[in-house]
Chains A and B, each alone.
Chain A
Amino acid sequence: EVQLVESGGGLVQAGGSLRLSCTASGFTFSNYAMSWVRQAPGKGLEWVSGISGSGGSTYNTDSLKGRFTISRDNSRNTLHLQMNSLRVEDTAVYFCAKQDSTVTTWFDYWGQGTLVTVSS
C-alpha cells in the first residue's frame, strides 16, 4: 500500500525558513517523480515543485521566484521542500504527491498534508 507522510510544517515568522519532508513507502521510490502541491485556506490547489525519480530534473512554479527548493533522498525514500524567505501568502497545507511516472504525468497518490502558517 502506498503511503506518503509529510512532516515539518508549523508556525514561522515572515522572512523565515522551513524544511518539509515526505516519507514514502509501498512503492519503489526512485522509479517515480514526486511533487509538492499546496492549498491555501479555503482556496484551490496550487502546484509548487516537481522532481524526477532520479532527482536530476526539477520543475518549479515561476511565482516562487527561487525561494523554494525541492530535493529527494532515494536512499531514505524521502522528499524534501526547503522554503526560504517565507511570506504570509505561503500559508497553506502542503501535500506531497506521487506521480504516475514522470513529472508530466498525473498525481496518483497524495499524503495527508502538513500545515505551514506564516505570521507577520
Chain B
Amino acid sequence: QSVLTQPPSASGTPGQRVTMSCSGSSPNIGSNYVYWYQQLPGMAPKLLIYRTNQRPSGVPDRFSGSKSGTSASLAISGLRSEDDTDYHCAAWDDSLSGWVFGGGTKLTVL
C-alpha cells in the first residue's frame, strides 16, 4: 500500500492532453515538493518533473506539473505514442523522515 495514491491507469489519443493525479497528505505533498518520474518497461526511472513544476533540461515542455494542497498533477499535452508508459510521483515525508512514492500510473496512448 503506497503512501501516495495514483490511479492505476490513464489513457488518451495522440495529440490529446491528459492529466494524472497524485494524492497525499499534509506531511508529504502538503509540505514538500512533488517529483514525477517516467519509467519505460524494464528500464530505470527517469526524472520528469522536479520541485513540483520544474523540468530538467531535455524534458519537452509538453510535460508540466502542479500542486494544490495535498494533491499534485502531471499533465501531458500533445500526447505521443512514446508517452505510453508508467509514471510515478514522489515526495519527502516529514513525519516518516523518508521518501514516499505513489503506486504508479500506466498511461496508454490509444
Residues of A in contact with B (beta carbons under 8 Å apart): 35, 37, 43-47, 50, 59-62, 95, 100, 104, 106-108, 110-113
Contact = CB atoms under 8 A, between A and B. Distances in A.
B92 A45 contact: no
A50 B99 contact: yes
Contacts of B104: 43-45
Q: How big is chain B's contact interface, by range? A: 20 to 34
Instruction: Determine chain A's interface SS by DSSP, over half rule.
Output: strand
A100 B56 CA distance: 12
A46 B103 CA distance: 9
B98 A44 contact: no
Interface of B: 2, 6, 33, 35, 37, 43-47, 50-51, 56, 88, 90, 92, 96-104
A117 B37 CA distance: 25
A47 B100 contact: yes
Given A43-B103, A45-B37, A106 B98 contact: no
A60 B88 CA distance: 20
A42 to B, nearest CB: 10
Contacts of A111: 44
A64 to B, nearest CB: 11
Contact of A47 (B33, B43, B98): B98
